[in-house]
């Protein structure tokens, strides 16, 4: 099986990559093998724009059996323990729209895009057919949102949650999902919770724990392919 792993930064999946056997390097795309599988690792850089561009370019140039987006995220849900690894099965783009005084109009409310126009499903990007993988099925499924600027104030958090319910937030997830849906490729967005979405408080983050849990889950998924 040929698998594409997409990450924003090398640090998020360094422990996993250390378990792979490298075979070639082509810029941001590094090729490896693991067991009987060919595993390509694409490091896109942080944010929606580079993720969308590099994913689309890579998927157009090669044939894959499945793709995994592996990274960390913040959570709006304080009941979700830091270090938890989740499967993000739906994602939104809450910043795509227009201000109307103190109100916000989504791109769908503006009439610029129908809520069910491909690849959207009810205004969301939804993974209706993830890979059939026992390790993936064991992860809690959550809804997410993808943003250009992570939220860090009570006012902005309340406003964005009023627009779109979500348990986690990232800067790349929806771009990855959009590209995979367009290319018709089975995929999964897998993330570990490193922090609560609140006023920036790095002292409370659990980044090492999140990365360790993330890489253990990613390896488990590969072992169940």
CATH superfamily of 2-223: Nucleoside phosphorylase domain (3.40.50.1580)
How far apart are alpha carbons 97 and 144 in whole angstroms?
18
Predicted structure pTM score: 0.92
- pLDDT of 102 > 80? The answer is no
Q: Which CA distances in Å does 225 have to 49, 57, 173, 185, 196?
A: 30, 25, 22, 15, 32
Q: Which CA distances in Å does 176 have to 8, 25, 138?
A: 10, 21, 22
Helix, strand and coil in the chain, % to nearest 5? 30, 35, 35
- pLDDT of 75 > 70? The answer is yes
Average pLDDT, the chain: 92
**Residue 107 pLDDT:** 85
The fraction of the chain above a pLDDT of 90, given in percent, is 73
Domain ranges for the chain: 2-223
Report the SS3 class of residue 44: coil
How far apart are alpha carbons 17 and 193 in whole angstroms?
20
Model confidence over 10-63: pLDDT tens digits? 999 999 999 999 999 888 999 999 999 999 999 999 999 999 999 999 999 989
Instruction: Name which of 127, 106, 124, 104 is nearest 116 in CA terms.
Output: 124
CB atoms near residue 100 (< 10 Å): 10
Model confidence over 105-150: pLDDT tens digits? 888 888 888 999 999 999 999 999 999 999 999 999 999 999 886 7
The H helix count followed by the E strand count for the chain is 6, 13
Which of the four pLDDT bands, split at 50, 70 and 90, describes residue 6?
A: very high
> Which of 71-75, 159-163, 171-175 has the least mean pLDDT?
159-163
Q: Give the rounded distance of the alpha carbon of 50 from its chain centre.
A: 13
CB 78 within 8 A of CB 197: no
Which residues touch 184 (CB under 8 Å, ≥6 apart)? none
How far apart are alpha carbons 15 and 192 in whole angstroms?
14
**Residue 163 pLDDT:** 67
**Residue 205 pLDDT:** 87
């Amino acid at each position: 099986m040929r698998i594409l792993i997409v990450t924003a930064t090398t640090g998020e999946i360094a422990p996993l990559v250390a378990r792979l056997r490298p075979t070639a390097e082509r810029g941001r795309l590094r090729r490896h093998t693991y067991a009987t599988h060919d595993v390509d690792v694409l490091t896109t850089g942080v944010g929606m724009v580079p993720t969308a561009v590099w994913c689309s370019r890579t998927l157009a140039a090669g044939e894959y059996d499945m793709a995994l987006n592996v990274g960390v995220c913040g959570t709006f849900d304080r009941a979700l323990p830091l270090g938890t690894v989740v499967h993000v099965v739906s994602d939104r783009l809450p910043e795509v729209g227009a201000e109307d005084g103190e109100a916000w109009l989504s791109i769908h409310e503006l009439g610029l895009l129908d809520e069910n126009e491909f690849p959207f499903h009810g205004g969301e990007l939804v993974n209706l057919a993830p890979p059939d993988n026992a390790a993936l099925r064991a992860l809690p499924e959550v809804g997410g949102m993808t943003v250009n600027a992570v939220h860090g104030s009570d006012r902005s958090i309340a406003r964005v949650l009023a627009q779109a319910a979500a348990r986690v937030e990232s800067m790349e997830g929806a771009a990855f999902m959009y590209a995979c849906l367009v290319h018709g490729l089975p995929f999964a967005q897998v993330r570990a919770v490193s922090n609560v979405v609140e006023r920036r408080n790095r002292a409370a983050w659990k980044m090492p724990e999140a990365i360790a849990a993330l890489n253990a889950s990613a390896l488990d998924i590969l072992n169940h392919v």
